[in-house]
Amino acid sequence: MTTPTVKDTALAPAALALGDDALVLSHRLGEWAGNAPVLEEEVALANIALDLLGQARMLLSMVGDEDELAFLREERAFRNLQLVEQPNGDFAHTIARQLYFSVYQHLLHTQLADGDGPFAALAAKAVKETAYHRDHAEQWTLRLGDGTEVSHDRMQQAANALWRYTGEMFQPVEGLDIDWTALQTAWLEQIEDVLRRATLSVPEGPRTGAWSAGAGRQGLHTEPFGRMLAEMQHLHRSHPGASW
């Protein structure tokens, strides 16, 4: 069993962090294909997944073979946030995960696009796509939060359940020239604004600190991630070199 090589460049930590976020969330969203509540939503989630997959391919290709990195790395070698590996849950959980992540990604891409680093061109491209993802998540949060009593409660539960995975997003990533404090402040403002308009309350409880879930960037992942990877990598590992 060979381990995929990651080019030893200054780019590697950030390319893996951002690339794995996009890859893993893309796979999770793809799991909705055939299961979404309405056809339009199925198409929307698949389209968002496709945008993310495109970003992942470019990022992973910067530091190695995209297929090997996606399909032959072990769980501990992935550098994605624990937030994006969380199971889809009910539709509200998927939307809460989308809201938290797309607001973060949009802010991050905006900052990266404004700079002149190695990710500026990709970020300038991706930020326009991410704006649509963010809008999609925001509109659904408003619709579910300010909807029926049942949809409100389920959206609130989902927002609460994923809250503890949001602190990790603002851990500095080596090689990215980002003002992480400003990023976190802007993220909190935007999330609080959307939740308030959706008649939801801002979750309480830790996002960082003595007890926090955050360690995906160091290769520590939550239990559902292993099963996700098993499914994602199974075909490639069972039929090495297959093509059609």
Partner 1 sequence: MVTTTTPLEEELLELAGSVPDPELPVLTLRELGVVRAVHARGADSVEVELTPTYTGCPAIEAMALDIERVLHEHGIREVTVRTVLAPAWSTDDITEEGRRKLREFGIAPPRVRNASGPVPVALGPTRTRDADPSAAGADELEAVRCPHCGSADTELLSRFSSTACKALRRCLTCREPFDHFKEL
Residues 10-69 that bind partner 1 (CB under 8 A): 40-41, 43-44, 46-48, 50-55, 57-58
CB of 2 to partner 1, least distance (A): 26
Minimum Å gap between C-beta 154 and partner 1 is 16
The residue (of 120 and 215) whose beta carbon lies closer to partner 1 is 120
CB of 124 to partner 1, least distance (A): 5
Per-residue binder mask for partner 1 (CB under 8 A), 102-131, x = binder: --------x---------xxx-xxxxxx-x
Number of residues binding to partner 1, judged by CB under 8 A: 33
Choose the binding region for partner 1 from 75-83, 136-144, 170-178, 235-243 (rule: CB under 8 A): 136-144
Q: What is the DSSP string of the chain?
A: -PPPP---STTHHHHHHHHHHHHHHHHHHHTTTTT-SSHHHHHHHHHHHHHHHHHHHHHHHTTS-HHHHHHS--GGG----HHHHS---SHHHHHHHHHHHHHHHHHHHHHHHHS-STTHHHHHHHHHHHHHHHHHHHHHHHHHHTS-HHHHHHHHHHHHHHHTTSGGGGSPPTT----HHHHHHHHHHHHHHHHHHTTPPPPPS-SSSSS----GGGT---HHHHHHHHHHHHHHHHSTT---
Answer yes or no whether residue 186 interacts with partner 1 by CB under 8 A. Answer: no
Nearer to partner 1, 146 or 153 (CB): 146
Binding site for partner 1 (CB under 8 A): 40-41, 43-44, 46-48, 50-55, 57-58, 110, 120-122, 124-129, 131-132, 135-136, 139, 142-143, 146
